[in-house]
Chains A and B, each alone.
Chain A
Amino acid sequence: MLNLYLFQILNGLGLGMIYFLISVGLTIIFGLLNFVNFAHGAFFMLGCYLCYSLLAATGQFWLALFVGPLAVAALAWGAEKILIRRVYHLPHTFHILITVGVALILQEGAIIIWGPIGKSIPMPDVLQGVVIMGKFAYPKYRLFLILFSAVIGFLLWLLLERTRFGALVRAGSESTEMVSLLGADIYKLFSLTFALGVGLAGLAGVLSGPIRGAHPFMGPEVLGIAFVVVVIGGMGSFGGALVGGLLIGLVQSLMTTIWPEGASLMIYGAMAAVILLRPYGLFGRA
């Protein structure tokens, strides 16, 4: 019995790290660009499908893990240059509409390319099987998922806190105008940040592929969960996305043992509870 809970807690950590990667991307974009990407879930879905196609074509999981997120980021970079940057000066409503448009194109495009029925993605050969720790056995892939996303999270933290690019992103979140006046190419910074944030959603998609598969209509659900995480953790906060993501992952995973049908419902229940007690989220300031 105890092992079952340990199993679900580890599952929850893995799921939570995926939610963290999705939400931290959403949050970085919002922090700097003051722009909410409603196509974030659709880019995640694209990551899943790229995982499927790259694995099917080459059989190399490491290649999929490397190329998939980069391809998603490149697409986002192009979309930012052509479309997104034209609407920064408009109210939020138009940000939402244009990214809803992009999400529809991605969703329907995925159906045209991969068909309306979902694809299941095989476990990569190297990561098949279980790791045995005493009496406890745990799937290798899920353990890899937790460790790998933790490394990515740490690298992202280094990027944001210890590099010139990160300093510019953080300074830009405080005052875009000031950073621009100090001579930084703000448009280049915007494009790169948008590509980075969306690329993280793509990476989360590739990573979750072997567990959840790929489905053209998974975007809205993922977007909903990302919103729950940032509402709980506070938008624009790295730590908030981490804690919110892990919290939601754990709630969902533990509920799966107690009440399987209601697991997804409880995510939103947890959010409603947080909003009732702390309207500005766990880390939010008024």
Chain B
Amino acid sequence: MLRLPDPKAVWGGTTVAVLAVLILLPIVLPSATLATEIVIFAMAALACNLLLGYGGLLSFGQGLFFGAGSYLASLAMIHGHLGLISALLVAIAAGAAIATAVGWLAIRRTGIYFVMLTLALAQMGYFLAYTLADWTGGDNGLLDVPRPPLALFGITLADLHGAGAYYAFVAALFFLVYIGARRVIDSPFGSTLVAIRENETRAAAVGFDTRHYKMLAFTLSGAVTALAGALYAMLINFVPLDNVAMQMSENIVIMTVIGGTGSLFGSLLGAGTFVLLGEILSAIWPRWPLLLGVGLILLVMFLRGGLWGGVESLLARRKEAAE
């Protein structure tokens, strides 16, 4: 029997807030392109959050999946003349495959070794992209990435060249990913992941194959991150080598923790804050990452739950005061 999702489970929690933000972003912001950038990075942060917030796995290699999605979708469009949907599917499949391989290697170790392995394997991807300059363009980046129209079975449904149309497409995809992630978290798989985060030894003792669960989480996260990478390449019509650099992995982790781990809405909040601050501050002072560094230190000192954690504790305090 087909089990339909419980409407309360889908529409409860922060879903309405996410939808509201997605609708308001292009209205409030000066350009739809900026809004698109926020939503794309929110997708990458959400995938990182799935690992960190729910699985307790800090991956410092998300840039590898992001970059792989950018490169492979672009190459599939440039050399394979694939359409939009097929190119995005290529990115998702490649992201899932690479993440599975990285996960398979990195999950052999736990704790800090795991973090170091994800970083080192991502660096390997960076140097691979750098070495294969004939395909990736190396330091110059991969130029002339197209943005094909949305078409299904040869029928063109929408032209995405306009910034507004592309935003609508990306936002719709983000919403689907968000709903999917919610379903995953609320499923037995999600609960098991949280159990592993809380106490891996106990979860293993109860009989769960913890490595299998962690790897599956990695696969999912890699697929979503690569999708975000592919969408980003189509947004800027270009794949810079930076897409696969350590800075990208770092930025994705920073967005995730700024927003707050353990809440998917936090990822949207974190990506929005990061991209907007970057946009505003970099126009005033090119050395703005210095302020980001200071901000990170302050976050660790005073706001360990991230922005969403701050909002939650504020709400709790107000509720307490009201009672």
Chain A positions near chain B (C-beta within 8 angstroms): 30, 36, 83, 86-87, 90, 92-94, 96-98, 100-105, 107-109, 111-112, 220-221, 223-224, 227-228, 230-231, 235, 261-262, 264-265, 268-269, 271-272, 275-276, 279-280
Contacts and interface: CB of A to CB of B under 8 A. Distances in A.
B108 A105 contact: no
B104 to A, nearest CB: 10
A105 B117 contact: no
Contacts of B287: 108, 111-112
B3 to A, nearest CB: 36
Nearest to A26: B116
Given A268-B127, A269-B124, A36 B109 contact: no
A108 B290 contact: yes
Nearest to A232: B120
A136 to B, nearest CB: 31
Given A101-B293, A101-B295, A279 B58 contact: no
Contacts of A224: 119-120, 123, 246
B108 A275 contact: yes
Contacts of A223: 119, 246
B293 A103 contact: yes
B290 A109 contact: yes
B58 A96 contact: yes
Nearest to A275: B105
B163 interface: no
Interface string B105-119: 100110111011101
A100 B254 contact: yes
A177 B120 CA distance: 32
A253 to B, nearest CB: 16
Interface of B: 52, 58, 60, 105, 108-109, 111-113, 115-117, 119-121, 123-124, 127-128, 130-131, 133, 245-247, 250, 253-254, 257, 287, 289-290, 292-297, 299-301, 304
B69 to A, nearest CB: 20
A97 B246 contact: no
Given A93-B52, A228-B120, A265 B293 contact: no
Contact of B293 (A30, A108, A112, A220): A108
A94 B127 contact: no
A103 to B, nearest CB: 7
Nearest to A269: B124
A272 B300 contact: no
B259 to A, nearest CB: 13
A227 B117 CA distance: 8
Contacts of A100: 250, 253-254, 293, 296
Contacts of B289: 104, 107-108
Contacts, number: 117
Nearest to A36: B112
A262 B131 contact: yes
Contacts of B290: 104-105, 108-109, 112
B113 A268 contact: no
Contact of B127 (A30, A103, A105, A264): A264
B116 A231 contact: yes
A36 B115 CA distance: 10
B131 to A, nearest CB: 5
A272 B124 contact: yes
Contacts of A220: 123, 245-247
A228 B112 CA distance: 13
Given A93-B52, A224-B123, 7 more contacts: A96-B115, A101-B292, A105-B290, A108-B293, A223-B246, A261-B131, A264-B130
Contacts of B299: 97
B121 A268 contact: yes
Contact of A227 (B116, B128, B294): B116
B128 A279 contact: no
A96 B60 CA distance: 10
B120 A231 contact: yes
A231 B115 contact: no
B112 to A, nearest CB: 5
Contacts of A221: 123
Contacts of A103: 293
A228 B58 CA distance: 18
Closest 5 CB pairs of A and B: A104-B293, A268-B124, A101-B296, A108-B290, A105-B293
B297 A101 contact: yes
Contacts of A272: 105, 121, 124
A111 B287 CA distance: 8
A280 B117 CA distance: 12
A230 B112 CA distance: 11
A66 to B, nearest CB: 29
Contacts of B133: 261
A274 to B, nearest CB: 11
Contacts of B297: 83, 98, 101-102
